[in-house]
Structure 1
Amino acid sequence: MNIDNLVNELTPIKGDFNDLSKFDFPGVYIIYDGNDEIVYIGSAYTRNISERLKQYISKSKSGNTLANDICKLDFKVEKTDAISNEQREKALKKIRKFKILAIRHNDLEYNLIQQYKPKYNLNGKTATKK
């Protein structure tokens, strides 16, 4: 399985953090940086993807695993509670530049994380640190 095959088999929705309304459905989302590198894979099955993505651009520390993981890797912060407001703002600025590909599907997240090992998927049994 690879993302190119998924794109051909399913109808993914592409976008960014500037317009999350197009992601009002449950499924899997893939976040890319400016170099088209997959940096995060997540899912939202009990709510819409747009609701989950809104957490990533929120200033709240609660539920923003992406900003926390960016701070841990990029700014070498060891613990979430040690992240400064300046570091969090830099992470949020970085997130707002990411691109998103979302797919209506119920079981892709685990397989995609195992295959691509995105650098910001630090939590859970499926993630690996580089």
Structure 2
Amino acid sequence: MSAEDLFQISRCETDEMGGSRLVETVMTMRSAGLVEGEAALLASAPERAVAATFVEVPAEASASGWHRAPCRQYVVVLSGQIEIEARDGSTRCLGPGDVILAADTEGSGHRATVAEGRARLLFVSLADD
């Protein structure tokens, strides 16, 4: 498997102590003929989603308090930059095109800060399988 077949994302998860930590994980991408007659694309395995929500964080709401993810959800940064901090002190700066899987649905959660100005995000809530 080549590096092109992997899509690296961050994952915020609950640790053994009820806090949170950020870890790097990869999604395997496989050749997929999504459009008949066109060249194959690389795609991850499908996941069932139950909702998609577009969010704009204005400058005056640039920092959140500590909170848990309401459900397992992908957060895709569309514009701006955000910093995610886990309880263990680990942080990730995410910009346009970056993805984090918020999976810390238990414990003390994480917090987020918009680096400057505003940010636009896409939240994709995943089904509980």
Q: TM-score scaled to structure 1, two decimals?
A: 0.28
What TM-score results when the alignment is normalised by the length of structure 2? 0.28
Higher helix share: 1
More strand by share: 2
Task: Compare CA radii of gyration and give the structure with the larger one.
Answer: 2
